[in-house]
Amino acid sequence: MEISPHVPAPEVPPRLAPWADSLELAVVYELETLRLVEVNRAFARKFGQPGPAWRGQSMQALLHPEDTADWQGYAGRVARPPFHIAREHRWQTAQGWRWIAWEETALREADGRVLEVRAVGRDVTKHRLAEEHFRKLAQAVEQAPVSIVITTPGGTPQYVNSRYTEVTGYTLEEIFEQQIPLLREGHASDAAYRHFCALVASGHKWSGELRSGRKDGSEAWEFVQVSPIRNHLDEVTYLLCLREDISERKALEEQLRQAQKMESLGTLAGGIAHDFNNIIAIIRGFTELSVALPAGDPRLGRYLATVHDAAIRAASLVGQILAFSRKTEVTYRPVRINQVVDELVGLLAETFPRDIELVRDLDESIEAFAADPNQVRQILMNLCVNARDAMTGGGVLTLATRRVAGGSLGNLKADPTQDYAHIRVADTGAGMTPEIRARIFEPFFTTKQESGGTGLGLAVVYGIVASHQGLIDLTSEPGRGTVFHVYLPLKTRGDEAPAAGAAATPGNIPRGTERLLLVEDEVAIQEMLATVLRQVGYHVSTANDGAVAIETIMTRGDKLDAVVLDLNMPRLGGVEVLKVLRQRWPNLPVLIMSGHLTESVLTELRQLGQSHEHIIEKPFDFLTFGRALRRVIETRKKA
């Protein structure tokens, strides 16, 4: 380094005079040695030493080591036309490494040789970093595992990332040339989409789960979030839409639901087994006791009544399970609600503890309305059983009916053009806390684990009320009792008079003298029915299965007045028997009995000309059975 101590350098050398007070950095360096000759004040400040101190120092020593090779690559280029270059590198300044953009001009001698170069530079670090930041951001967006879409507020696509094209199968050309309304995808209806548009256009964020179609026709669940992008005037200029594929999570959720259902079914099966075992124990015990009684013992009647009650409980349990799994066929008939209540109160008076007082408060002006009588009975039964459970120390159970106009049921979402039968079931029992109240309609929710509650009662009630387009409501307070309100629409659809439900003894079963063939494989039931029928005057022959039945019918059909036919039998089922019978004796009256009627069986029976009224569901009481049989026989006589 050669610095002459005798000639002090002027503070601003003449060749840099225009940059004397400039904020731009300015230097002159020797082309061959790359040593500094002159620097301006801005450079001296930036690099931390007074101007003169820089004379003879190497430029290259100030460069970032990684940039040296690149910087040297330019060397000499400035000496050729157009004698001007621009380059950006990192330099070691007093503030640390900074990006500096230099514009360099060759200073040509009179003979054209280039010995020195003037460089004028600016600190572009901020700009550089912003650019880099932006580049990273762009890469992140481009590679993000979520689909990212930017559109105008009107939904015209402006940008989609590669994930989006990957997932949807659309190409960029398709998206931008055909202007596919990308944000419409997944909204269930035009109305839903319009609502969404209005919301985001007014500057709100929107998010939700949508089921979106792909180009190839497949579908996926997506979590979609749309937020407005605003300009400096706070106007919504673009919409940013993020879509995340959540199909997998949805599938897992579904699996979990299934697993929970299975678990619930396990609990349910346990509960049912428990209940049934109790019932069977009662039936077995009391039948054994009955068998052991000496002839004429007065206790026999009481024992058998207990067995009878147990059987009713078993039937109601099966009814509940079937209602819950929705396997029973719903049949609408005119239902007289007051009569149902009367019957039920009669039954409850027999079976509920004596310290529960039963009160009826019936509105006689309610006419018959269309409903499934069994299911309506089920609603009342379940509510009453719960009321009983809540009144362990006794109390009052009130069953009330009223006719109300839908319009007066304010917040219940009733049909205002419709009148309803309002059934109120009120108890003075334990009541419920708000926490319990909130969950009572959940299937399997019970607070009676100890006593074998299934948690199905109210779930069934809810299901039945809903299927009747009815409404349910309640008020309850701990210690102050509970009131359930059920509203059933007073519709008049229905086709058959309701069955009266007086208790049946063989004495009041309608009598007959006709010759019957009773086809039933279950020996006990066969014997039971044959006994009852003979007691009231019928001539009964029996068959244990379908094959025997057909034989009898083929040979002795003309000597029969009616056939009572069970459907579910081994070897040859009732439907097969009916087919043969219809060919040979098309006019022979047939009463079908079955414990499990499915829609398909009903259809088949209908096709064979078997009227709905001539089918009776097991279990039935003798009176219902006897009446159904009379109906079948009378129809024939009229015809």
Residues with Cβ within 8 Å of 161's Cβ and at least 6 positions away in sequence, in order, are 141, 142, 143, 144, 147, 148, 149
From residue 364 to residue 383, what is the string marking binding to ligand ADP with x (rule CB under 6 A)?
------------------x-
Please give the biggest Cα pair distance in the chain. Answer: 151
Sequence-ordered strand ranges (E) for 231-325? 236-245
Distance set, CA 20 to CA 2, 14, 40, 120, 256 (Å): 24, 9, 6, 12, 77
Stretch in the footprint of ligand ADP (CB under 6 A) among 67-75, 152-160, 171-179, 384-392:
384-392
Binding to ligand ADP by residue 458, rule CB under 6 A? yes
Q: How far is the CB of 543 from ligand ADP (least distance, A)?
A: 42
Q: Is 386 one of the binding residues for Mg ion (CB under 5 A)?
A: yes
My answer on whether omega of the bond before 294 falls inside 30° of 0, hence cis, is no
Mapped onto helix, strand or coil, the DSSP state of residue 194 is helix
Instruction: Give the x-and-dash track for 148-167 against Mg ion (CB under 5 A).
Output: --------------------
Residue 430 binds ligand ADP, judged by CB under 6 A: yes
Q: Which of 13, 228, 431, 457 binds Mg ion (CB under 5 A)?
A: 457
Give the three-state DSSP class for 529: helix
Is 378 a residue that touches Mg ion (CB under 5 A)? Answer: no
Q: Which of ligand ADP, Mg ion, none lies near 16, with the C-beta cut-off 5 to 8 A by kind?
A: none
The binder of ligand ADP chosen from 193, 238, 276, 445 (CB under 6 A): 445
Q: Closest separation between CB of residue 361 and ligand ADP, Å?
A: 18
Contact pick of 453, 506, 557, 619 for ligand ADP (by CB under 6 A): 453
Question: Smaller CB distance to Mg ion: residue 151 or 386?
Answer: 386
Residue 560, C-beta contacts closer than 8 angstroms, at least 6 positions apart? 515, 516, 517, 553, 585, 588
Q: What is the DSSP letter of 106?
A: E
CB of residue 387 to Mg ion, shortest distance in Å: 9
Stretches 201-209, 383-391, 401-409, 604-612: which one binds Mg ion (CB under 5 A)? 383-391
Report H helices in 12-124: 41-47, 68-73
Any long-range contacts for 537-541 (C-beta under 8 Å, 24+ apart)? Answer: 537/511, 537/512, 537/513, 538/512, 538/513, 538/514, 539/513, 539/514, 539/515, 540/516, 541/515, 541/516, 541/517
Indicate which single residue of 390, 486, 488, 490 sits in contact with ligand ADP (rule: CB under 6 A): 390
401 contact, one of Mg ion, ligand ADP, none, CB 5-8 Å limit per kind: none
Stretch that binds ligand ADP, among 334-342, 438-446, 489-497, 562-570 (CB under 6 A): 438-446
Residue nearest to ligand ADP (CB): 457
Report the C-alpha gap between 124 and 98 in whole angstroms: 8
Q: Does 271 bind Mg ion (CB under 5 A)?
A: no
Nearest distance, CB of residue 339 and Mg ion, angstroms? 24
- Listed in sequence order, the residues at least 6 apart from 459 whose beta carbon sits closer than 8 Å to its beta carbon are 324, 441, 442, 443, 444, 445
For Mg ion, the closer CB: 383 or 593: 383
Nearer to ligand ADP, 426 or 601 (CB): 426
Q: Which does residue 356 touch among Mg ion, ligand ADP, none (CB within 5 to 8 A, set by kind)? A: none
Nearest-approach distance from CB 425 to ligand ADP, in angstroms: 8
For 299-347, the DSSP string reads: HHHHHHHHHHHHHHHHHHHHHHHHHHTT-SPP--EEE-HHHHHHHHHHH
Is residue 447 at the binding interface for ligand ADP, with CB under 6 A as the rule?
yes
Choices 20-28, 61-69, 369-377, 426-434 (CB under 6 A): range interacting with ligand ADP:
426-434
Least distance from C-beta 628 to ligand ADP, angstroms?
32
Between CA 293 and CA 301 the distance in angstroms is: 11
Choice between 157 and 457, CB closer to Mg ion: 457
Site for ligand ADP in 473-512 (CB under 6 A): 482
**Distance of closest approach, residue 447 Cβ to ligand ADP, in angstroms:** 3
Residue with Cβ nearer ligand ADP (382 or 401): 382
Is residue 319 within the footprint of Mg ion (CB under 5 A)?
Answer: no
* Residue 432 within binding range of ligand ADP, rule CB under 6 A: yes
Neighbours of 446 (CB within 10 A): 20
C-beta closer to ligand ADP: residue 459 or 562: 459
Q: Which stretch binds ligand ADP (CB under 6 A): 135-143, 385-393, 413-421, 565-573?
A: 385-393
Could you say which of 429, 470, 494, 589 contacts ligand ADP (CB under 6 A)? Answer: 429
Residue placing its CB nearer to ligand ADP in the complex, 430 or 590? 430
Q: Is the peptide bond before 619 cis (omega within 30 degrees of 0)?
A: yes
3-state secondary structure at position 473:
strand
From 402, 444, 434, select the one nearest 419 (Cα to Cα).
402
**Residues whose CB falls within 8 Å of the CB of residue 292, separated by 6 or more in sequence, listed in order:** none
Q: Is 465 in the site for ligand ADP (CB under 6 A)?
A: no
Query: What string marks each residue from 332 to 371 as x (binds ligand ADP by CB under 6 A) or -?
Result: ----------------------------------------
- C-alpha span between 78 and 115 (Å, rounded): 11
Give the binding range for Mg ion (CB under 5 A) out of 105-113, 384-392, 473-481, 540-548.
384-392
Taking residue 518's Cβ as centre, other Cβ atoms within 10 Å add up to 23
Comparing every residue's Cβ against Mg ion, the nearest one is 457
The β-bridge partners of 355 are: none
Q: How far apart are CA 420 and CA 401, in angstroms?
A: 10
User: According to DSSP H, which parts of 114-246 are helical?
Assistant: 125-143, 162-168, 172-177, 190-201
| Identity of the residue, 261 or 606, whose beta carbon is nearer to ligand ADP in the bound complex | 261
User: Using an 8 Å Cβ cutoff, are 561 and 585 in contact?
Assistant: no
212 near Mg ion, judged by CB under 5 A: no
Q: For residue 406, give every residue at least 6 positions away whose Cβ sits within 8 Å of its Cβ, in sequence order, or none.
A: 414, 415, 416, 417, 418, 419, 420, 489
On the 0-12 / 13-18 / 19+ scale of CB atoms within 10 A, 403 is middle
Query: Is the CB of residue 569 less than 8 Å from the CB of residue 521?
Result: yes
Query: Minimum CB separation from Mg ion for residue 311, in Å?
Result: 20
Burial class (CB in 10 A: 0-12, 13-18, 19+), 582: middle
Cβ neighbours, 10 Å, residue 292: 8
**Residue in 427, 520, 521, 561 binding ligand ADP, rule: CB under 6 A:** 427
Binding at 427: pick from Mg ion, ligand ADP, none (beta carbon under 5-8 Å per type): ligand ADP
Of positions 16, 397, 440, 590, contacts ligand ADP by CB under 6 A:
440
Using the rule CB under 6 A, which residue among 13, 228, 319, 457 binds ligand ADP?
A: 457
Q: Which residues here bind ligand ADP, judged by CB under 6 A?
A: 382, 386-387, 390, 427, 429-432, 436, 440, 445-448, 453-459, 482
Q: Which residues here bind Mg ion, judged by CB under 5 A?
A: 386, 457
